Each structure stands twice: as C-alpha cells, then as structure tokens.
Structure 1
C-alpha cells in the first residue's frame, strides 16, 4: 500500500475556490479503482491549510490517479491558490495493524 500525505497552504482570499476544487477532487478520487481511502481536512488553527491523506493499493493506482482529469484540473489551478510551498510525503507501507484505544 502507498500512503501520500500532502499539505497545501491556501491563500485565505481563495479558500472558497479551493474548497470547491478539493471537494470535486476528493469525490472523484474516492471512486477510482485502487484508491483505498482519500481524505481532506483543514487545520483547526489555520483553516486555509488543507491536509490530504491518500491511500492507494499500489503504484499503478497512484499513477492512474495522477493521470485523471480531476487531478489535472486541481493541479492546474493550484499555483494560483497557494500561499506558500506545499509539502508532500509518500510512505511505502508493507503492513498495517489496528490500534486499540
């Protein structure tokens, strides 16, 4: 499994525009083959910081996601929305276990 964690600092003046694009991106991404989970949240201290947590079955699923129209639309709009540098980290996961709380 592959996990991608991304943070995008969005210009507060463009937050509503970004929200619309992110909602569309997340909705379509969740329906893709090979997507295990696709979540987007905003930071509680900075509502213009968007955090993506994406899980893919394998490299092929991640590659296919990057080729979709909805990803392309978001990627094209992103430079005009950003208020800083994005941070993206990829994790290659060989095993997972549930944590009991």
Structure 2
C-alpha cells in the first residue's frame, strides 16, 4: 500500500476556483481502479490550507492517478492558486490496521 499526505496553501482570492478543482479531483480519484481512499479537508486553523489523504493499492495505481485528466487539470492550474509551497509526503507500507479508541 502507498499513502500520500499533501498540503496545499491556497491564496484566499483563488479559494473558490481551488474548491471546484479539488471537488472534481477528489470525486473522480475515488472512482479510479487501485485507489483505496482519497480525501481532502480544509485545515481547522487555516481554511485556505487543504490537506490531501490518499491511499493506493500499489505504485502502479499511484502512477496511473498522476496520468488522469482530472489530476493533470488540477496540477496545471495549481501554481496560480498557491499562496506558498506545497508539501507532499509518501509512505510505503505492507499493511495497515485500525486503532481501537
């Protein structure tokens, strides 16, 4: 399994366009083969900071995701929307388990 956590600081003047792109990206990404989960949330302390939580079955699914039209559209417009540097971290793991609270 491959997990990606990304943060994108969005310029407040570009928030509405960013939301349109993010909603389309998340919805279509969740329909891709090999995507286990794909979620986006606005940070509670900064509503213009978006956090992406992505889970893929394998490297191939992650690679295929980056070739989709919806990802390409988001990536092409992203530089105009940003208010700072994005951060992307990937985690490779063999398995995951639920933690009981």
Shorter-chain-normalised TM-score: which range? Answer: over 0.9
| CA deviations over 1:69-101 (Å, ceiling 9, x no partner) | 000000000000000000000000112111101
2:65 is the counterpart of 1:65 = yes
Q: Extract structure 1 runs of 4+ deviating beyond 6 A.
A: none
Q: TM-score, normalised by structure 2?
A: 0.99
Q: TM-score, normalised by structure 1?
A: 0.99
- 1:45 offset after TM fit, Å? 0.9
Match of 1:51 in 2: 51
In structure 1, runs of 5+ residues without a counterpart are: none
In structure 2, runs of 5+ residues without a counterpart are: none
Please give the secondary structure, in 2, of the residue aligned with 1:94: coil
Distance of 2:89 and 2:5 partners within structure 1: 5
The residue correspondences of 1:1-101 to structure 2 (distance < 5 A) are: 1-101=1-101
The alignment of Structure 1 onto Structure 2 pairs a total of residues equal to: 101
Distance of 2:95 and 2:59 partners within structure 1: 16
Distance of 2:78 and 2:85 partners within structure 1: 11
RMSD: 0.4
Distance of 1:96 and 1:70 partners within structure 2: 28
